[in-house]
Each structure stands twice: as structure tokens, then as C-alpha cells.
Amino acid sequence: MSTSEKNLRTCVQGHQFYKSSDCPTCPTCENERKPADGFLSVLSAPARRALENNGISTLQQLSTFTEKEVLQFHGMGPASLPKLRSALKESGLSFKG
């Protein structure tokens, strides 16, 4: 089994980090972008970006999608669905359909 070689990278903000993949996301910048509260704050960075990249920043917007549609977003995994369901339920909302 071979190990992935990690390469030193520098983001546009000057943070240095190591990555073995082609993903350009800087972990330091991502931590700084993480919301302090709200439903997006409980999600992993890839799941949060998946919603943001699809124009979803509120629970009302999220409720216009089905669970199946949300799972199709790049970066969204099944582990995020219980968190999303719970957040929707607390606001009296649910996934579409």
C-alpha cells in the first residue's frame, strides 16, 4: 500500500498547509469561515460548502429540497441528514416531499 505524499501549499491569505489531494481549500481559512451559530455551524466543512454552493443559507431555502436532492450535492454525505432534519424540525419545517 502506498501513502499519499503531502505537498506544502500557501493560500491567498498566506496560510501554509499540507494537502495530499488537489483540493485547494485552506483549513485555516475554512475554520475562520465557519459560522458561530445556526444550522450551518453543526455541519462539516464539505457539507456546509455543498449547501452554500447550491444557494442554501437558510432553513427555509433548505426546506424546498428533498433529501434525495440534497444528497446529490457534491460534498454532502448521509451523516449530515440527521443534523439537517433536526434543524428543520426545530423550526417547524421539513424536507420537501
Tell me the pLDDT tens digit for each residue of 21-74.
887 777 777 777 777 778 999 999 899 999 999 999 999 999 999 999 999 999
Contact predicate 26/11, CB 8 Å: yes
Q: What is the CATH number of domain 37-97?
A: 1.10.150.20
Contact predicate 20/6, CB 8 Å: yes
Distances (CA, A) of 83 to 6, 40, 41, 45, 76: 32, 10, 10, 14, 12
H or E stretch covering 82: helix 81-90
Count of all residues that appear for the chain in the document? 97
Q: How many CB atoms lie within 10 A of CB 3?
A: 6
pLDDT for 57: 94
Domain borders along the chain are 7-35, 37-97
pTM score above 0.85:
no
